[in-house]
Structure 1
Amino acid sequence: MAAPTIAIIGGGPCGLTLARLLECKGIDYVVYERDESENSNRVGGSLDIHPETGQHALREGGLFDEFKKYARYDDTVFALADKLGERLLQLGQGRDAPEIDRSDLRQILLDAIPKDKIKWGHALTSATAGEDNRPVLQFANGVVLSGFKLVVGADGAWSKVRPMITQATPQYSGKSFLESKIGHENPLYETTASKAGAGISLSIDSGKLIVTQRQGDGSYRNYFGLQVPEDFFRNGTVDLQDVEATRRLLLTDFYADWSEEYKDLIRHATDLRAWPLYTLSTEDMDWKSVPGLTLVGDAAHLSITNGEGVNLAMTDSLKLASKIAEHGTENFDQAVQEYEADMFPRGIATINKGKVMANVMFSEDPQASLQLMNSWEAAE
Structure 2
Amino acid sequence: MPAPEIAIIGGGPCGLILARLLESKGVVDYLVYERDESDGSNPNEGGSLDLHPETGQRALQEAGLFGEFERYARYDDTVFTITDKLGNRLVEIGQGRDAPEIDRHELRHILLNSIPKEKIKWGHSLTIVTLGEDGKHVLHFGNGLVISGVRLIVGADGAWSKVRPMVCITQATPKYTGKTVLATTISNANPLYETTAAKVGPGSSLAISSGKYIMTQRQGDGSYRTSFGVHSLDNNPFSGDIETTRRLLLSSTYYADWSEDHKALIRQATHLRAWPLHSLAAEDMGWMSVPGLTLTGDAAHLSFIGGEGVNMAMADSLQLALKIVEHGMNNLDQAVREYESGMFPRGIAGIEEGKVMESVMHGEDPGAFIQLVSS
When the two structures are superposed, what TM-score results if normalisation uses the length of structure 1? 0.95
Instruction: State the distance in 2 between where 1:24 and 1:2 align.
Output: 22
User: What is residue 298 of structure 2 aligned with on the other side?
Assistant: 298
- Cα deviation per residue 1:45-75 (whole Å; 9 max; x = unaligned)? 0000111111110011110000000000010
In the alignment, the residues of structure 1 paired with residue 300 and residue 119 of structure 2 have an alpha-carbon distance, to the nearest angstrom, of: 23
Contact kept, 8 Å, 2:176 with 2:235, in 1: the verdict is: no
| Cα distance, 1:86 vs structure 2 | 1.5
Partners of 1:249 and 1:273 lie apart in 2 by 14
Q: Match of 1:133, SS?
A: coil
Q: Give, in whole Å, the separation in 2 of the partners of 1:52 and 1:232.
A: 36
Equivalent position of 2:242 in the other structure: 243
Pick which of 248-257 and 185-194 moved more: 248-257
TM-superposed deviation, 1:14 = 0.3
> 2:347 aligns to what SS in structure 1?
helix
- Residue 313 of structure 1 pairs with residue 313 of structure 2: yes
Deviations 1:298-328 (A, max 9, x none): 0000000121110110000000000000000
Q: In 1, are the aligned partners of 2:41 and 2:105 still within 8 Å (CA)? A: no
Gap regions ≥5 residues in structure 1:
376-380
Query: What is the aligned residue count?
Result: 370
Task: Give the alignment's Cα RMSD to 1 decimal.
Answer: 1.1
Q: Is this contact kept in 1: 2:179–2:235, CA < 8 A? A: no
Write the mapping of 1:38-187 to structure 2, written as runs, cut at 5 A: 38-40=39-41, 42=43, 43-166=45-168, 167-187=171-191
**Residue 341 in 1 paired to residue 341 in 2?**
yes
* 2:288 corresponding residue in structure 1: 288
Q: For 1:65, give the aligned amino acid.
A: G
Cα separation, 2, equivalents of 1:225 and 1:302 = 18
Cα separation, partners in 2 of 1:41 and 1:140, compared to 1, 3 Å: farther
CA distance in 2, matches of 1:16, 1:32: 10
Q: Say if 1:255 and 1:360 are closer, same or farther in 2 by CA, change over 3 A.
A: same
SS of the residue 2:272 aligns to: strand
Deviation of 1:41 after TM superposition, in Å, equals 5.2
- CA drift of 1:335 comes to 0.2
- In structure 2, how many angstroms separate the alpha carbons of the residues matched to 1:9 and 1:102? 18
Q: Distance in 2 between matches of 1:208 and 1:67?
A: 33
* TM-superposed deviation, 1:238: 4.3
Distance 2:335 2:42 in 1: 33
Alignment of 1:200-279 (within 5 A): 200-233=204-237, 238-239=239-240, 242-252=241-251, 253-279=253-279
**Offset, 1:88:** 1.6
Please give the secondary structure, in 1, of the residue aligned with 2:194.
helix
Matched letter for residue 101 of structure 2: E
Q: How many Å separate the matches in 1 of 2:95 and 2:134?
A: 55
| Counterpart residue number, 1:378 | none
Distance in structure 2 (CA, Å) of the matches to 1:113 and 1:308:
25
Aligned-partner Cα distance in 1 for 2:233–2:315: 33
Distance 2:107 2:48 in 1: 10
How far residue 243 of structure 1 moved from its aligned partner, in angstroms, is 2.1
Letter in 1 for 2:360: V
TM-score, normalization by structure 2: 0.97
CA drift at 1:245 = 2.6
Q: CA deviation at 1:371?
A: 1.5
Shift of 1:22: 0.4
Q: Please identify, of 346-355 and 132-141, the stretch whose mean Cα deviation from structure 2 is larger.
A: 132-141
Q: CA deviation at 1:229?
A: 2.4
Instruction: Answer whether contact 2:180 2:235 (CA < 8 A) is retained.
Output: no
**C-alpha offsets along residues 336-378 of structure 1, whole Å, 9 cap, x if unaligned?**
0000000000000000000000001101122111221221xxx
Alpha-carbon separation, structure 2, partners of 1:333 and 1:81: 50
SS of equivalent to 1:330 = helix
- State the AA in 2 paired with 1:11: G
- Do the aligned partners of 1:21 and 1:321 also contact (CA within 8 Å) in 2? yes
**Residue 39 (structure 1) shift:** 1.5
Query: Is residue 214–residue 227 contact of structure 2 (8 Å, CA) maintained in 1?
Result: yes
> In the alignment, is the contact (CA less than 8 A) between 1:134 and 1:291 conserved in 2?
no
Question: Given residue 216 of structure 2, which amino acid in structure 1 is its aligned partner?
Answer: T
- CA apart distance, 1:25: 1.2
Counterpart CA distance in 1 for 2:286 and 2:55 is 23
Q: 1:90 deviation in Å?
A: 1.0
Deviations along 1:166-188, one digit per CA (max 9) or x if unpaired, are: 11000000001011111111011
Provide closer, same or farther for how the CA distance between residues 193 and 40 of structure 1 changes in structure 2, counting only shifts above 3 A. Answer: closer
